[in-house]
Amino acid sequence: MIKPMSQKLNILAISGSTRLQSSNHQLIKAVASLAADVAHVELFDGLTNIPHFNPDSDHDNPPAEVVAFRHRLREADAVLICTPEYAIGVPGTLKNAIDWTVSSMEFSRKPVALITAGTSGFKAHESLLGTLLIIESNIATTAQIVISGVKTKINQEGVITDTATLEKVQQLIEALVAVVKEEPVPLMPRPSLF
C-alpha cells in the first residue's frame, strides 16, 4: 500500500514509444493512477522534437528543445521511464534524448524508475539500465522492472489486469518515493568501465 504524502512529488514520465495508444503510455497512466496519493505524474511529450544528438551543438547554445527537456528533468523530483524494446534495443528517440543529458548531468543523482514493457524487453532493459547507471541515476533495485507480454497485462484504459505485474509496479512506485525521500533502500550498483 502506497502511503499518502503531505506534499506530492513531481514525477516526469518519459515514454520510449511515440505511439499515443501504446502499452507504455497505458502503463504511465496506470502508474499515475496508482501513485495519485503521493505524486503528480506528468508525461513529457516532446521526445520526437529533440534533434539528433551532436556534440558540436552541445555547448553554449544547445537547441531550444534540448534546453526545455533539460529544464523539465531538473524541475522533477523523479523520473519514470517506460519504454518498449525495438529490435532488441532501446528506441532511438529515447536514447537520443538521454544522450543530450550526458554533459549537462540532469540524470546524475536523480531518482529514476525504469519499466521496459513489450513482447520481451530484457535486452533493451539491460542496455538502458546500464546507460542510466553510468550517468549516475539513483535507481532502487525494485524501481526497475521488465514486463514481458505487456499487452496481456494492461488494458487500453490504463488498468493493470495482471496481479503479479500490479504488485511489481506498486513496489516500483514505493521504491522511487523512498529514493526521493532519501530513505535507506538498496540502489543498483554503478557499472565498472574497466
User: Please, what are the domains in the chain?
Assistant: 9-180 (3.40.50.360)
Contact, 14 vs 44, CB < 8 A? Answer: yes
Which pLDDT tens digits describe the chain residue by residue (194 residues)?
A: 566 667 999 999 999 999 988 999 999 999 999 999 999 999 999 999 999 999 998 888 999 999 999 999 999 999 999 999 999 999 999 999 999 999 999 999 999 999 999 999 999 999 999 999 999 999 999 999 999 999 999 998 889 999 999 999 999 999 999 999 999 999 999 877 65
In whole angstroms, what is the distance from residue 192 CA to residue 171 CA?
A: 27
DSSP state at residue 93: H
Q: What does the alpha-carbon distance between residue 162 and residue 160 come to, in Å, rounded to a whole number? A: 6
Sheet with 78-83, side-by-side order of all strands: 39-44, 9-15, 78-83, 112-118, 144-148
A 10 A CB-CB count for 57 gives 13
Nearest to 32 by CA among 157, 163, 182, 145: 157
Question: Are the C-beta atoms of 71 and 10 separated by less than 8 Å?
Answer: no
pLDDT recorded at residue 34? 97
pTM, rounded to two decimals: 0.94
